[in-house]
Amino acid sequence: ETGVTQSPTHLIKTRGQQVTLRCSSQSGHNTVSWYQQALGQGPQFIFQYYREEENGRGNFPPRFSGLQFPNYSSELNVNALELDDSALYLCASSLAGGGEQYFGPGTRLTVT
């Protein structure tokens, strides 16, 4: 059984740029959720994708967007990067319906 993977591991961007983060879900899981974890805080829910559509969103602005592909992998895109976007971005996969979520190793984004 393949676990959740994310790429890249680390990323440094400049304020105003755009970034794309990638996630491959665990084998057999059809739902992907993205979270942002600022330093010293718990992760915060960004959005969830199921059947290639966004089906739930936390309190994040529209410049945070995503995609899900037919193989259930997913991308998180952030436009017009701000310094406060510096964080660890975590992807989790699960079966639809609120089941147990399994997390990837994360992508650490630094915005300068």
Partner 1 sequence: GIQVEQSPPDLILQEGANSTLRCNFSDSVNNLQWFHQNPWGQLINLFYIPSGTKQNGRLSATTVATERYSLLYISSSQTTDSGVYFCAALSATYSGGGADGLTFGKGTHLIIQP
In the bound complex, what is the minimum distance in angstroms from residue 97's beta carbon to partner 1?
Answer: 8
Looking at 24, 25, 33, 74, which residue binds partner 1 (CB under 8 A)?
A: 33
| Separation CA 69–CA 51 (nearest Å) | 8
How far CA 12 is from CA of 19, 55, 61, 74, in Å, comes to 10, 29, 21, 21
Q: Which amino acid is at 41?
A: Q
| Separation CA 35–CA 48 (nearest Å) | 9
Which one, 75 or 105, has the nearer CB to partner 1? 105
Binding mask 36-65 for partner 1 (x = CB under 8 A): -x---xxxxxxxx-x---xxxxx-------
The residue count of the chain comes to 112
The tokens describing 29, both together, are 């899981």
Which one, 16 or 56, has the nearer CB to partner 1? 56
In the bound complex, what is the minimum distance in angstroms from residue 16's beta carbon to partner 1?
Answer: 26
Contact between 103 and partner 1 by CB under 8 A: the answer reads yes
